[in-house]
Amino acid sequence: MAEVTVNRTIRPSSRRANSKSYKVDTSSVGPADTLVVNIDHENKPFRRTFWFSGRDVARKKSISFSVNEINVSWSGARPTRLGPVTQS
């Protein structure tokens, strides 16, 4: 049972306008693990943490999320727990 942490930064300055989703590699997450995804933004004081059960992501290569302002929508799995939106 391990906690696997992935940090992702939303970078609109280096992404194409039609590229709206961000992938999170889940290949190293086992069924008994917990995946922790920290998301921040390159220009805004935004940070949020999401927790996922290893059972939900272990059989997948990746999951993805898209962002609209500061709203994060997940594809491939649902978080089991959400951290608050914090100012970074």
CA distance 13 to 19: 12
Q: pLDDT tens across 28-83, in order?
A: 999 999 999 999 988 888 899 999 999 999 999 999 999 887 789 999 999 999 99
Summarised one tens digit per residue, pLDDT across range 5-26 is: 999 999 888 877 777 789 999 9
DSSP-based three-state secondary structure for 67: strand
45 domain residue, yes or no:
yes
Q: Is residue 87 part of a domain?
A: no
Instruction: Assess contact for 70 and 27: CB atoms under 8 A.
Output: no
- Distance, C-alpha 82 to centroid of its chain: 11
What does the alpha-carbon distance between residue 64 and residue 25 come to, in Å, rounded to a whole number? 9
The answer as to whether 33 is a domain residue is: yes
**pTM confidence score:** 0.90
Which residues are CB-contacts of 57 (< 8 A; sequence separation ≥ 6)? 26, 29, 35, 63, 76, 77
Q: Does residue 88 form part of some domain? A: no
Whether 31 is covered by a domain: the verdict is: yes
Number of domains in the chain: 1
* Identity of the residue numbered 19: S
Domain span holding position 39: 3-82
